[in-house]
Amino acid sequence: MEYSVDVRNLTRTFGDFTAVNNVSFSVKKGEIFGFLGPNGAGKSTTIKMLCGLLMPSSGEGHVAGMDIMDQQEDIKKIIGYMSQRFSLYDDLSVEENLEFFGSIYGLQGTKLRERMNFVIDMVGLGDRRDALVKNLPGGIKQRLSLGTAIIHDPPVLFLDEPTSGVDPLMRRTFWEQIYAFSAQGKTIFVTTHYMDEAEHCDRIALIIAGTIIALDTPDSLKNTIPSDVFLIRSDSFLDTFEILSRQDFVQEAALFGTDIHIIVKDGRGIIQRIRSLLEEKDGKRIMIRKIRPSLEDVFVVHSRNHGL
């Protein structure tokens, strides 16, 4: 079996609202596959259908060779799933939570103890084995939640916004663990709205309003947008942003801290054109240079091209 996940024309509606709209994609074995999009884009709904937690309205799909329409209970037994909200028991300790989830997946005796010790060591909770979950900080709960998802050594791991609400250092540590899983040949399907986090994926599907608008490697996505991107720095960046936002030749302008990114259809002569425009307006010191598109730039361009 070449693919761990394979879906065609997958759709989910809630009354008149279409949460996932006719999406098709495949995820290779051992791949880190990302679903990148804003909140409400359909990421969680898709992942729940793949995990056997939600029945699709139409379409078809397979996870580890199992049909998401007819084999939902079988799928649940062989995947790992980490939801946006920690599915942990606050009044149980770290060790008790792992023991409980391991037993749900059919582990017992020596095998259960081995997997518990492995997970505790892997996620770095050896000094908190007996700590109650309700007393743990968010980052530690996140690591434990990941541990409960992999206690049974699943071949496919679904992570739904796994680093939402944790600090950058914890996010980096978390991704180191994801790399370790991938190196073991496990397939990782991760949803995120963090653009920088999506850079860690082998391939990314950009999704908005339930529709996949682009799918490729991060580098390929950056190389294929038919626009030029420029970075502008100015002493009065808010005024500069307002001026640039009103120009007909600017497709999109966005703030990145105090930096400004503008997207233009044709970058020839743009630097001098912008410099003349801004110096004429306020005479402030400015810096302009062409840059490689970021994933956020890519997302903006594809969203515009799809009328979203």
**What is the CATH code for 3-217?**
3.40.50.300
26's enclosing H/E stretch is strand 17-28
Which residue shows structure tokens 């990302």?
Answer: 34
Please give the distance of CA 29 from its chain centroid, rounded to a whole number.
18
Output 280 or 151, whichever has higher pLDDT: 151
Distance CA 269, CA 222 (A): 22
Distance CA 177, CA 169 (A): 13
Compute φ and ψ for 186, nearest 5 degrees.
Answer: -80, 150
pLDDT score at 308: 56
Tell whether the model's pLDDT for residue 1 goes beyond 60. Answer: no
Helix (H, G, I), strand (E, B) or coil at 56: coil
- Residue spans per domain, the chain: 3-217, 226-292
Confirm if 223 and 265 have CB atoms less than 8 A apart. Answer: no
Output 13 or 253, whichever has higher pLDDT: 13
Token pair for 278 = 């801004």
Tell whether the model's pLDDT for residue 307 goes beyond 70. Answer: no
**pLDDT-based confidence at 237, cuts 50/70/90?**
confident
pLDDT score at 19: 96
CATH class, domain 226-292, is alpha beta
- Name 212's bridge partners: 207
Output 268 or 284, whichever has higher pLDDT: 268
Alpha helices in the chain (DSSP H): 43-50, 72-78, 94-104, 109-122, 138-150, 168-183, 195-198, 218-224, 237-245, 270-282, 295-305
Tell whether the model's pLDDT for residue 223 goes beyond 60. Answer: yes
**pLDDT-based confidence at 17, cuts 50/70/90?**
very high
Token pair for 29 = 């074995």
Residue type, 171: R
3-state secondary structure 160-180: ECCCCCCCHHHHHHHHHHHHH
Output 278 or 221, whichever has higher pLDDT: 221
Distance CA 221, CA 238 (A): 29
Quick: pLDDT tens for 56-94.
999 999 999 999 999 999 999 999 999 877 688 999 999
- Fill in the DSSP letter of residue 133: G
pLDDT score at 282: 58
Confirm if 29 and 185 have CB atoms less than 8 A apart. Answer: yes
Output the pTM of the full model. Answer: 0.86
